[in-house]
Each structure stands twice: as C-alpha cells, then as structure tokens.
Amino acid sequence: MRIHLTSVLVDDQAKAHDFYTRILGFQTKNDIPLGPHRWLTVVSPEHPAGPELLLEPDAHPAAKPYKAALVAARHPRRLLRGRQRPA
C-alpha cells in the first residue's frame, strides 16, 4: 500500500508553486487548468514517480477557518524532511 497523492491548502497557487519548486526544489508533475484554478501537483526530484503533493486552492468555505484553527492551536499541518540543497 502506498500514498499516491496528498494535498496542502494554499491561498495562491502561483505563489505556492513558486515556493515549492524554486525554494524547496520540488518538480512540477501536473499543471492542468480547471476553471479559475489548476490541478497543480509537485513531486520530489529524487522520486518523480513517487507521491504527489496537490497545491489545492483553499476556495471551499470550510478551508480558511480550518487553517486558522490549526494555526491558533499551533498544530502543524505538514512536515517535510529532506536534504539541504547546495547554495
């Protein structure tokens, strides 16, 4: 059994994509227009066929209160661990 896809709620897909690819080093796997949003996934460059992280818009009415409650409780939503990239 494997996890193939998980998501992270983002308020701006373009900014999130820039952060996950340019800063953290992920690679774009899918970028498919879907109305005002995109099906936008990234993967680890070490495992391009591995699990995908969906940069999911927080457009659902429950998303923003959910995120705010986690922040208020100081409860992390994701933990990513990897090697440091060379400067």
- Predicted TM-score (pTM) of the model is 0.79
49-86 exposure pattern, b = at least 16 Cβ within 10 A, e = fewer? eeebbbbbbbeeeeeeeeeeeeeeeeeeeeeeeeeeee
Query: What confidence category does residue 82 fall into, taking pLDDT thresholds of 50, 70 and 90?
Result: low
Structure tokens at 52: 């995908």
* Average pLDDT of the segment spanning 58-73: 86
Number of other CB atoms surrounding residue 28 within 10 Å: 13
pLDDT > 90? residue 85: no
Q: Would you tell me how many other CB atoms lie within 10 Å of the CB of residue 25?
A: 15
All domains of the chain, ordered by start, with CATH? Answer: 5-72 (3.10.180.10)
